[in-house]
Structure 1
């Protein structure tokens, strides 16, 4: 019998049929994982809980277009790269040069993304060069020896160091001519890329500058509980310290896999690197606000700010 981590059972929760499906598909629950046999499947709403890399995993699955990251596996001889998107939206593939990839931005087959990824990793560890896994599930991936979840495969204390790309040329080894099918998939994927850069600054993790073509944003995946994070943001808002600088404004937040992702609108004329210091300073202010919550209850002004922030949900799809 395989091991189920406490993070999974703790995160399973009932989901309303009209609510967004926690799997991240963008569909309502009743049209996605709640549709089968008319019964409700248990959904793990925080599938990457317990991992130091949780924030990066959420970012790579939800909004980073083209990136890879070495998966810090506990065992196994083959290097596995987590990838945002693979050719034909494959769940996993092994290039002809032997490099194995597991895709994050794929349709899941169960109510637990972590479980599906663990199965894809097991497949990638055993597959031959040139093979591709179009979908992952119990029907097409052996599970006799597979750990139950991603948390059982990787070192929970290790962070990810994503490598971002301007296109998807990394799909193919150098000096390799893609098939017509892969070439078409490559062209479609390249055309859909949104310029994105990771904000690399002291004390800043899982924060990304994104240019949508009409606006630039900072999207920052946070690991704190929603109530605590919104309270800290409200404290900064009441002090007039919630923006990164005079050329930015707090836009709102969205939920992704059990975490809250605050979003700031930014001046598109500024380069992504110009936001490193403002992000570092904002991160420091936010940490101080979070720490102060233990000793200083919100004031009436801060409570009003909190109610205003709760209603500012943004949509990125």
Structure 2
């Protein structure tokens, strides 16, 4: 082959300048987990839970060869995007970072990379998602339940495997970083967490974040955002298109003592959300105060 033949081609068959096909860009998605079962739990496992897992099932038409199910986790060792265990189990870490404007597409890319990896290996790099990468809504059986299990530590990394002394010491160090977290039962996707000497309840609301902010503003103006004596609404995170209010509760209180108050808050919130009345001046001031304290996760 001559040198001219080996040069990069700069024209097409008609003689016009050749153009390089660029991957389709990933469109930004404000609510990336909308359409999946229990959207609020997807947000919780990606944004606010320290150690948790949930099983997912591939849609039959999109199941990789030899892999029907996978485990969604908060984080994996070394912040790996995915692991394909020797026993065939595939785990994906939701908190390993997102490289596009659509976490659903990024996690789908991690799932596919984990399923394609050799059993007994970790995925340390995942090709960047493009507009042609499928989303979780495409890959998964959305009729299957999504049940998040909160763990006290990261023992699910090894799943009962025998560890040598160095491995056990490493796992123990990781477990020491996990803050105590428990699921509340009065409302979906509500979690009690103790961080240092302070205790909080975080609640992922299922509604559009602007409508949820209006509802919280109505309650805040009426003095109805607390969960009883010694509690207060600190503010809210914005996460994956949803709102996550954070309540501070007495540091030494257990989750059980707040269940009734949390349920009552849910009733008040639902009524405020259903209101079609324009916000009053006091409610608008309350809304501005809430917005000034909001933080967007990632």
| Same fold (TM > 0.5) | yes
Q: Do structure 1's residue 231 and structure 2's residue 214 form an aligned pair?
A: yes
Aligned residue in 2 for 1:30:
none
Over 3 Å counting, the alpha-carbon distance change for 1:157 and 1:300 in structure 2 is: farther
2:103 is the alignment partner of 1:113: yes
More moved, 298-307 vs 223-232: 298-307
Aligned to 2:285: 304
2:50 to 39, 54, 65: 65
- Equivalenced residue count is 268
RMSD (Å), alpha carbons: 2.7
Aligned-partner Cα distance in 2 for 1:126–1:179? 31
Superposition deviation, residue 46 in structure 1 = 2.7
For the residues of structure 2 that align with 1:258 and 1:128, how far apart are their CA atoms? 35
Consecutive unaligned residues in structure 1, runs of 5 or more:
1-39
C-alpha distance after superposition, 1:104-145 (max 9, x if no partner): 010233332211211222233344431111132259xxx9xx
Specify the alignment match of 1:169 in structure 2.
155
Among 199, 202, 217, the alignment partner of 1:219 is 202
Instruction: Give matches, 1:109-148, under 5 Å.
Output: 109-138=99-128, 148=134
> Does the Cα contact within 8 Å between 2:213 and 2:243 map onto a contact in 1?
no
Cα distance in 2 between the residues matched to 1:164 and 1:244: 23
Alignment of 1:1-317 (within 5 A): 43-75=28-60, 76=63, 77-138=67-128, 148-156=134-142, 159-177=145-163, 180=166, 183=168, 185-201=170-186, 204-292=187-275, 294=276, 296-313=277-294
Contact conserved, 1:218 with 1:265, CA < 8 A, in 2?
yes
Map of 2:14 onto structure 1: none
Q: Secondary structure at the match of 1:59?
A: helix
Q: Aligned partners of 1:73 and 1:288: how far apart in 2?
A: 38
Q: Is the 8 A contact 1:47 1:257 kept in 2?
A: yes
Deviation at 1:172, TM superposition (A): 0.9
Do 2:239 and 2:296's aligned partners in 1 also have CA atoms closer than 8 Å?
no
Q: Which runs of 5+ in 2 are unaligned?
A: 1-24
Larger C-alpha radius of gyration, 1 or 2?
2
Whether the aligned pair in 2 keeps the contact of 1:82 and 1:101 (CA below 8 Å) is yes
String of CA shifts for 1:124-171, please: whole Å, max 9, x gaps. 3344431111132259xxx9xx96111111244655211111111111
Alignment TM-score, normalising by the size of structure 1: 0.75
SS of corresponding position for 2:200:
strand
Residue aligned with 1:110, SS: coil
8 Å CA contact 1:235, 1:298 repeated in 2: yes
